[in-house]
Structure 1
């Protein structure tokens, strides 16, 4: 494996076929700097192992502003201090849905609580959104979804790239589709979609504990 990525913390995810030649081809195609940095590229998988996944939030690609993407979809380091964009709209919907006024921007607690925060592309060049959309990351996303089909789970597909994977999910799962929460599209149906309460009610109906979306 090229030195670009450190795969030592993948745990059970390392068994996916993607972490062979498919990743080698992607690494060979990365001809410049990308975000998040290599040490954080697979952080979503590292933080939430397959057996712990209760819900999946699938987005588009990482933030393309340096220092903003932290390897968890939609998450932003607490010390970032800049515009929240998509995350800001997610937090607005969270407050509207559950009355939760979340201030933390890092979503590490969601990952720790069983929410896999994955994008349909795991890298992006600085200031070039969607530039890696066809680099080959779709193979990883498909393998992750197939691996998670062993039992019912909740899937939140935000935006057209994420919704394109809905045909890979059967009726055992809760599948919630909505526009992407970005400032360009949130008003087209993300606001008012109430994804957080819907996931928690579904989990309760499955006999599972709800997710603590508020965090500490």
Structure 2
């Protein structure tokens, strides 16, 4: 077991200098927050295999997204801090967009991806927050919103190309770890899961009865079928407060 104080003393290696092959050889605690490393120890072999697969993809001449420095970004914030889970599908396949957080993009990305533009539209309808000109959602992650893609990598230009390569087992373990957390008193830790679309709904059975806000996906193909008007942000905050937690400040900074 990790010492409790160690959970908040993570001193990672500078992953921006590493490639996937080097990452596959490092201890998990050097790649992610210490409590995440502990929670994912049971799928360590699978994670190393996926990182080795990504190294082989690069060796074969494919561009893999996101970069090595961002592929495990969702696990940088402590597991203990998670209070909202938002599950995505797989990273944006356009080079320069994917940053390792579901639905989020590099602050310089223009135009905003259409799914994210629809999320901003619903955010304004729900809470009156005007859309931002950037797509950087890291301010949500900093507050304990786990922006987790079901599959955490992709070949550039080939959406869905890394499905079935091992990520699903790892993200299943991650969702289960979030749902199984307990407070020091032994109660279930506060959690709201926001599930948008079929892929996200696939994790519902892992959530141990956690409070769920669900709707169709915000993509242009399905947003009008129930995503618009679903008010996920205000509903999530209300459910957090019911559990004795604080709500999320969903308003993003004007400049990331």
Task: Report if TM-score (shorter chain) is over 0.5.
Answer: yes
Q: Of 200, 203, 226, which residue of structure 2 is paired with 1:162?
A: 200
RMSD of aligned C-alpha atoms? 1.7
> Per-residue CA shift, 1:90-115, capped at 9, x if unaligned?
00010011111131420010000110
1:81 equivalent in alignment to 2:104 = no
Deviation >4 Å, runs of 4+: 4-7
Which has the higher relative contact order, 1 or 2, with Cα contacts under 8 A spaced 6 or more apart? Answer: 1
- Secondary structure class of the residue paired with 1:118: strand
SS across alignment from 1:24: helix
Cα distance in structure 2, aligned partners of 1:18 and 1:161: 23
Assess if the C-alpha contact under 8 Å between 1:2 and 1:24 holds in 2.
Answer: no
Q: What is the TM-score with the length of structure 1 in the denominator?
A: 0.92
Q: Does 1:41 align with 2:71?
A: yes
Q: Which structure's CA Rg is the greater one?
A: 2
Gaps of 5+ in 1: none
1:95 to 112, 124, 127: 124
Say which of 177, 183, 190 aligns to 2:220. 183
- Aligned residue runs from structure 1 range 125-140, under 5 A: 125-140=155-170
Contact 1:74 1:86 in 2 (8 A): yes
Q: CA deviation at 1:4?
A: 4.8
- Between the aligned partners of 2:143 and 2:71, the Cα distance in structure 1 is 20
Question: Is contact 1:60-1:159 (8 Å) kept?
Answer: no
Matches within 5 A, 1:47-62: 48-62=77-91
Q: Could you tell me whether the CA contact under 8 Å between 2:98 and 2:104 is conserved in 1?
A: yes
Deviations 1:29-51 (CA, angstroms, capped at 9, x unpaired): 332321111110011111x2111
Is residue 105–residue 137 contact of structure 2 (8 Å, CA) maintained in 1?
A: yes
Distance 1:113 1:121 in 2: 23
Equivalent pair of 1:102/1:214 in contact (CA under 8 Å): no
